[in-house]
Every structure is written in structure tokens, then in C-alpha cells.
Chains A and B, each alone.
Chain A
Amino acid sequence: MKKTIIEVKDLKKDFYMEEITVHALRGINLEIKEGEFVAIMGTSGSGKSTMLNVLGCLDKPTSGSYMLDGISMGELSRNELAGLRNRKLGFVFQSYNLLPRTTALENVELPLFYNSEVKPKERRERAIAALEAVGLADRMHHMPNQMSGGQQQRVAIARSLVNDPVVILADEATGNLDTRTSYEIMALLQDLNSKGKTIVFVTHEPDIAKFMTREVVFRDGHIIREDMVTERYNALELLKGLPAEELV
């Protein structure tokens, strides 16, 4: 029996805008176990982004419960939530969100700066290890503007790995990338997943969801479908099938 990482029960989230109340999430039940690679799908306005914000401890639900790695987030203060994000979660964003004019290594170190238990030496070692895990050991001292989009996203993934989180939350992480680079990123995530990392990946592309183990589809604040992925794509094999990269 695998450990339950995320357990959401009857979760509701309302937004109040002047006189209108928007029900973004209308009673969500979701359980994610250790080692899963879950796609959260849905069109815009379906509630998937709100769901990700709640899962990422960036936003609090209006009602319902959310247990992350055995910790109920309902009663936590703003600072305690920050601590939870720092130790239990890793984020990967569509637009990478790397600090400009800051080396890859320093970008990856960032989360550890906010953990006073990590000493500078350990911080550096862990950042180097994370960059090695995403295959960018040789780009350690490059600035974001000296790297391609794919490389920048790898740095962002290394940053999400560096604190050894229980779950990595990715928000349209391939949205800004071309097909080949998307596959490369998916190959990296599949590799991390095969080594035991739990990943939740928000996307609106059904194709990308095929790389994962389970699909959860949102519409109008409800989960309308929840399936295991049957014909799962293997990113490495797909990459071999792509025409050789044109050298300019």
C-alpha cells in the first residue's frame, strides 16, 4: 500500500467579486499516492489553476479539507504555509520564473536560502546535485539569458527538486516549448517519476497528459473524469521518432 501524499475532501473555493460569487471549486475529492504522475486537465475556467494554487498552499480553500503528507493545511498561518511550501513542495512554472542575471546554480539554491537549517556548503552541494540530475552540470554558471527555453525549464525543475519535496507541482510546464523540447522535458519528468517522485502536472493539452499515469479532468469546478492512462507515451522513444534536429 503506497503512502497517500495528497488527500482532498469536499474542497470548495469561492471568490467574491463585489456582488457576484464565483464558485471556482464546487466540492473536490482527490487522492494522490506516492509515486504517481497525475495530469490535471481542463479548459480555462474549469478550476484547474485554482486547484493547483490550493494544492500548492498558495491559496486557502473556502471549505473542505486538504492533507499534504499527513499535515492538514486548514489551520496553518501564512508563515506556516510558507514553511510547508519550502520543505514539502516544488514548483515548475510555464514561464520558468528564473531570477534574471543570476547563475543557474544560484537560481537552484534559492529555495534553500529560506531554510535556515541548510548551511551554505550543503546548499551548494545539493544545488549541484539537482543540476546534475537534470543534466545541466556543465551550465552551472550560465545566466538564464545564455540558455535556451528547454535549458531554463530544466533549471526550474532542478530548483523544484533541490529541497527534496514530497510532490512537484508543474503548471503548464511545457506550454512555452516546442514539441522536441517538450518531449525532452517530459522525458526528464518521466525519469524523475520512475525514480519515485510524485508529480502533479496541470495542462490543457491531452497529448501531454498521455505521458502521465493518471488523468483528472476538471470542468466548472467539478472533477468530471478520472482515469488511469492506458496507452502511456514514453518520451524517450518519441524523441527517437522525431526527425533529426536541423542544424542551422
Chain B
Amino acid sequence: MNYTNTIKISVNALKRNKFRAFLTMLGIIIGVASVIVMLAIGEGSKKSIANQMSSMGTNLIMVMPASQQRGGVAMGNSNAQSMTLNDIAAIEKDCPALSAVSPEVRSSGQAVVGNSNWPTSVYGVNNKYLGIRKYSIKSGRGFSEREIQTYAKVCLVGQTIIEKLFEGKTDPIGQSVRFKGIPLLIIGVLTEKGENGMGQDQDDLIIAPYTTVQKRILAITHIQSIYGSAVSEEKNSEAISQVTNSLRKSHKLKDGEIDDFQVRSQAEMVQTFSSVMNMLTILLGSIAGISLLVGGIGIMNIMFVSVTERTREIGLRLSVGGRAHDIMMQFLIESVLLSIFGGVIGIIFGMMVTYGVTSALGWGMIIMPEVQALGFLVCSAIGIFFGWYPARKASNLNPIDALRYE
């Protein structure tokens, strides 16, 4: 007996029951397709969030004030005034892993133009900030070093501000926005950036020199946060430790004293998000995997029915010289063919659904060859695993009893 013959026999047997073979495969088709779609959706949303977050800059390093202790009394985070412009100078000097650094002071309030107004925030920063946060200037110019030194009343505006205060029309450069009674001359417009990973509008902002915001708007001397950009993504952790050391030194913290600031990188946040998304993908994948298992049980069920229904056929095959091994292989090949064929259709079907879903969400096609290969392997394994027992039952039949079976 050679395998070509056995395969031919199995294929013929399946052809005789096309509709039933299709229904049996349907379980596998749906199972495999849903695994592929679920994993692709998981992967896609992970990528899309990662993309949005890296649009904020993956090299981004943020320094915020942290809880301080004053004589054993813990202070809140937000109103800590621990950071000053001296820290910026120290960081610029001490941290070769940072390519740029900028202070940030921030004020929220109503921006007014004529009789329109809109609640927004003014960010006081230096001229490296745009590069650090991956903003670019659509028209106009950024502010100069001199404008920073002279507390110049100039600003850059985001697209949302133009939309809300200028009703989207015309180039607002040269006009003024009033913020907390201070008129700020618009010298530049930022390119649209869209929402970030957490749904915040990144175009709803006004950017001004930090000196202007410190002295004219807030009347403070400290700064609220520091933004920096690591030389490369790989240098992130090096940058974090350099910034930490530099700040501990300039804040004169003794060994054992806790930091009165916290340094975080955007890459860390991307990682956190990714691990959450991974969990979700695993969850979705395992739910889909259960349907694949159910599909496998469907195959076993049909193979049992098939063995019982074809008892006489088995008896005949044994009597004309089929060996137990031939019969076993025939049924095993049938179930493997069912599951592999179902698996292939499932993979194709899954890719079609993935294409539909991803293009509807505007993600672009996600093809994961390893998942498809895995799906294929799992299907073959299912065919062997769930086909083995019925096939063994068939091969153990006594030819005399099988021939007389009614």
C-alpha cells in the first residue's frame, strides 16, 4: 500500500460527501479566521497607538516635579515649585545624552479674538520645544532668542485655535490673541497634528516664549516641567539617569533623600500601552482559539459518524486486502485534509476580513506570517489529534462483523 493510493481513497471519500465535508470544515474555517482577525486587530490597534504616541516623539524625556518633603511633611505633586531655569542650564551642561531641552510653563484660560473666545492653554517654552514635541511651523516663523530675552508678546497658534477664534479663515499671522488681558501677536501657525493616543487635541494650544508666560501671565520664577529629547531612542535610559543625577545635584539632595522630581520617557509610556494591548491581543486570541477547538471537536464528531456509517465499507476494504494500518491512514488523512483545507480557507477568509476591518479603520493591511503559519500548524495538529481516535476505531473493526453491520 502506498500513500498516493491512500490519499486518493481519502479524497474520493470526501468528494462523495462534499456538503458534509464543507460543513465540517466550516468550524475550522471560522476558528482560524477569527484567530487571524483577532490577532490582526490586536496588532493593528497596538501599532496605531504606538504610532500616535511616537508622533509625540519617542525620544521625549519629561521631567515633572514630584512629592517633596518639607520637615517630614509630604507635599502634593502639582504645586511643587522645585524646578527653576537653573535646572535647565545644569541639564544642558551635564547631559550629553540629550540633544535638546526646554522648560515648560503653562497657563489655562480663555483666549479672545474680537468677540470669539475659546478655553485653551498657553505653553511657555524655548525655541527648541517645537523640535522636541515634533511640532512644525506651517507658516510664519518661530520666536528668536531675542524675543525670549525681552519677554516679547508673540505667539504661535495651533489649527484648533484658528478654527475656533478665526473661524478657520485667512492667515491669522499679524493679528493678536488676547490671553488673560495680554495681547499676543501671532507670528506663526503650527501644522496640524491631530489627537494623541489618549484622545487629546494636540492642535488646541498657543505657544509663547517661556519668559513671557512666566513674567507677564503667571508672574512666577519657577518652571513647571522640563521637556528634552534624547539623542536616540536607545539613549533614553541613559538620558533619564543623566537628568536624574544632574537634578539631584542642582537640588542638593543628599543620599537617601527621595527625588523631588520624576523623569519619564515617552518610550516607557509606549511600552506600558503595548503591554496592555498585548494582554488584550492574547485575550482576544484565546477566545478565538476556543472556537478553533470547537471546530476540532466538530471534526472528531463527524469522523465518528463517518466511521459508523461506513462500517460495511470498512469491512469490504478489509476483506479485499486492506490492512488495519491502511484503514487507519485513510480516516486519519481524511480528517487531516478536512482540517488543513479548512485552515487554508480560514486563513484566506481571515485575511479578507482583516483587510476589510483595517481599511475601514484606516490602519493599512496587517499580515502576520507567523500567525498564519501557526494557524496552519495548529490545523494539521487538530486533524491528527481529533482524527486519531475515530481512525483507530475504524482500523480495529473485525472484518466479519463489519461486513454484516446493518
Contacts and interface: CB of A to CB of B under 8 A. Distances in A.
A85 B320 contact: yes
A143 to B, nearest CB: 10
Interface stretch (A96-104, A128-136, A212-220): A96-104
Interface stretch (A61-69, A75-83, A200-208): A75-83
A159 interface: yes
Given A58-B400, A116-B1, A116-B2, A82 B312 contact: no
Interface stretch (A20-28, A86-94, A227-235): A86-94
B5 interface: yes
Interface in B1-16: 1-2, 5, 8-9, 12, 16
A46 interface: no
Contacts of B326: 114
A114 B400 contact: no
Interface in B198-217: none
A87 B16 CA distance: 28
Contacts of B323: 78-79, 82-83, 114
B400 A59 contact: yes
Contact of A101 (B2, B16, B312, B315): B16
- Interface size grouping (class) on chain B: 20 to 34
A82 B16 contact: no
A56 interface: yes
Contact of B320 (A100, A106, A110): A110
A53 interface: yes
Interface string B1-37: 1100100110010001000000000000000000000
A82 B321 contact: yes
Interface in A98-150: 99-102, 106, 110-111, 113-116
A168 to B, nearest CB: 12
A163 B12 CA distance: 21
Given A97-B403, A114-B1, A85 B321 contact: yes
Contacts of A163: 320-321
Residue with the greatest number of chain A CB neighbours at <10 A, chosen from B5, B320, B323: B320
B324 interface: yes
B270 interface: no
Interface of B is mostly: helix
Among A53, A91, A114, the one with the most B-chain Cβ atoms within 10 Å of its Cβ is A114
B16 A102 contact: yes
A106 B5 CA distance: 12
B322 interface: yes
Given A97-B312, A113-B5, A87 B321 contact: yes
Contacts of B324: 78-79, 82
Contacts of B325: 79
B318 interface: yes
How extensive is the interface on chain A, given as a class? 20 to 34
A91 B1 CA distance: 20
Contact of A159 (B2, B315, B320): B320
B92 interface: no
Contacts of B399: 58
A102 B12 contact: yes
B251 interface: no
Nearest to A99: B313
Contacts of B318: 58, 82
Given A58-B400, A93-B403, A113-B9, A99 B316 contact: yes
B139 interface: no
Contacts of A83: 321, 323
Nearest to A106: B12
Interface in B379-406: 399-400, 403
A142 to B, nearest CB: 15
Given A79-B323, A79-B324, A93-B403, A110 B317 contact: yes
B317 A85 contact: no
Interface in B271-319: 312-313, 315-319
A111 B316 CA distance: 10
Given A58-B400, A59-B400, A79-B325, A85 B319 contact: yes
Given A58-B399, A93-B403, A106-B12, A114 B320 contact: yes
A114 B321 contact: yes
Given A83-B321, A86-B321, A110-B320, A100 B16 contact: yes
A47 B16 CA distance: 38
Contacts of A82: 318, 321-324
A99 B12 CA distance: 11
Nearest to A93: B403
6 contacts: A79-B324, A82-B321, A85-B321, A99-B313, A102-B16, A110-B320
Closest 6 CB pairs of A and B: A86-B321, A111-B320, A101-B16, A114-B321, A82-B323, A97-B316
Interface of B: 1-2, 5, 8-9, 12, 16, 312-313, 315-326, 399-400, 403
Given A56-B319, A86-B320, A91-B320, 5 more contacts: A58-B400, A82-B324, A85-B320, A86-B322, A106-B12
